[in-house]
A = this chain, B = another copy of it.
Amino acid sequence: MQLGMIGLGRMGANIVRRIVGDGHTAVGYSRNAEQIKEFADELGDSFQGATDYPAFIALLEKPRIVWVMIPAGATGAVIERIAELLEPGDIIIDGGNSRYHEDVKRAKALRPKGLHYLDIGTSGGVWGLERGYCLMVGGEAESVAHIEPLLKSIAPGVAAAERTPGRTGEPSPAEQGYLHCGPAGAGHFVKMVHNGIEYGAMAAYAEGLNILHKANIGKERDDQHSAEETPLDNPEYYQYDIDVPEVTELWRRGSVVASWLLDLTAGALHADPALESFGGRVSDSGEGRWTVDAAIDEGVPAPVLSAALFARFSSRGESLYADKVLSAMRKAFGGHNELPSK
């Protein structure tokens, strides 16, 4: 099968590599002729490239399959442009991190033109080339079925994890690492919640490791103790110098919290045991916010996912005004002075 890819950044490039490696062919679009050339050198006959859209479209077999893999902010305009060049029956895929609201709107806008639209939430990050990508697909069933050979090649495949006890017979798509989740937007919806969970799970580890990291607080001499904090009732219980990097390595085997995130954490802490290469300002990329928004719309509680999100905001200093309000109140009723120093 042939795939057209717009965007040959890390994700797009590696998806192309996976399908070509599995016997498919690809057409790539990039404004950068040099990049196209390098790619052609690497992939040989299985790859053709173009630096303008009409040429790119002309290289595609009908019905064309165009996967757009560029930053979410630019995706809308590119899809509009491409849609003008495509013909009824062609398929446009947004594999980036668009908010699923956009998918609902785009699918509706493209339908009168006879164009099919799929949204594919794609997880795997920098490891996808090696591990395969977990694919969450939204759109019409016919189009999903049409591109299934490509999905199989991009996804990790059933061997990537031990089979779930009780599952038998032909592995389901989910077991192979891709799933048609529902109509337009369903793929990005599931990907959004996936990332929301990721925020929560990451914060669970981070908070726990912080507790281990401070387990020696009872060793501080009292006169060194900050006046800002209540003195410890029981310093004898906080005399531990825990080797946090080794603990994360330990938990990888046999524990309930073993996970891929933990594998990565153990690797990061092995490479930089004191985390000196990080500043502690944590970004967020939208999906965590949208997940909490969705929880609120649905009226379901998400205290853990929202706490994880807000901790990132706080890490960037965004609670400063609120904190000053607290200090102002404390001074007003109790005469406490919490002066500028931050």
CB distance from A109 to the nearest CB of B (A): 14
Query: A237-B297, A259-B259 are known contacts. Are A282 and B338 too (CB-CB below 8 A)?
Result: yes
Query: A214-B300, A278-B327, A281-B338 are known contacts. Are A253 and B134 too (CB-CB below 8 A)?
Result: yes
Bound state CA distance, A237 and B50, in angstroms? 36
Q: Is A112's CB within 8 Å of the partner chain B?
A: no
Q: Is A56's CB within 8 Å of the partner chain B?
A: no
Query: A123-B255, A326-B315 are known contacts. Are A186 and B228 too (CB-CB below 8 A)?
Result: no
Bound state CA distance, A257 and B195, in angstroms? 8
Nearest chain-B residue to A171 (Cβ)? B249
Nearest chain-B residue to A327 (Cβ)? B278
Quick one: CB contact mask for A275-289 with B, threshold 8 Å, 1 for yes?
111111111111001
Name A256's contact: one of B178, B260, B270, B293 (CB within 8 Å): B260
Bound state CA distance, A254 and B217, in angstroms? 37
Bound state CA distance, A335 and B285, in angstroms? 13
A175 touches B279 (CB 8 A): no
* Interface residues of A, dominant DSSP: helix
Q: Which of A38-46, A79-87, A88-96, A316-324 contacts B (4 or more CB under 8 A)?
A: A316-324
Bound state CA distance, A59 and B167, in angstroms? 47
Bound state CA distance, A340 and B215, in angstroms? 24
Bound state CA distance, A299 and B160, in angstroms? 37
Query: A124-B254, A136-B250 are known contacts. Are A329 and B268 too (CB-CB below 8 A)?
Result: yes
Query: A73-B231, A126-B333, A177-B253 are known contacts. Are A275 and B321 too (CB-CB below 8 A)?
Result: yes
Complex contacts, A319 vs chain B, CB 8 Å: 210, 280, 300-301, 311, 314-315
Q: Is A35's CB within 8 Å of the partner chain B?
A: no
A200 touches B209 (CB 8 A): no
Bound state CA distance, A124 and B296, in angstroms? 26
Complex contacts, A199 vs chain B, CB 8 Å: 204
Complex contacts, A315 vs chain B, CB 8 Å: 319, 323, 326
Q: Which residues of chain A from 302 to 342 have any CB-CB distance to chain B below 8 Å in the complex?
A: 302-316, 318-336, 338-342
Name A280's contact: one of B186, B209, B327 (CB within 8 Å): B327
Q: Which of A19-27, A142-150, A239-247 contacts B (4 or more CB under 8 A)?
A: A239-247
Bound state CA distance, A162 and B266, in angstroms? 12
With A124-B254, A200-B203, A296-B309 known, 10 other A-B pairs at CB within 8 A are A125-B335, A128-B254, A215-B298, A227-B283, A265-B325, A268-B328, A280-B342, A281-B341, A311-B323, A315-B326
10 shortest interchain CB distances as A-B pairs: A200-B204, A259-B259, A134-B254, A264-B332, A301-B310, A280-B323, A197-B208, A134-B255, A303-B307, A206-B322
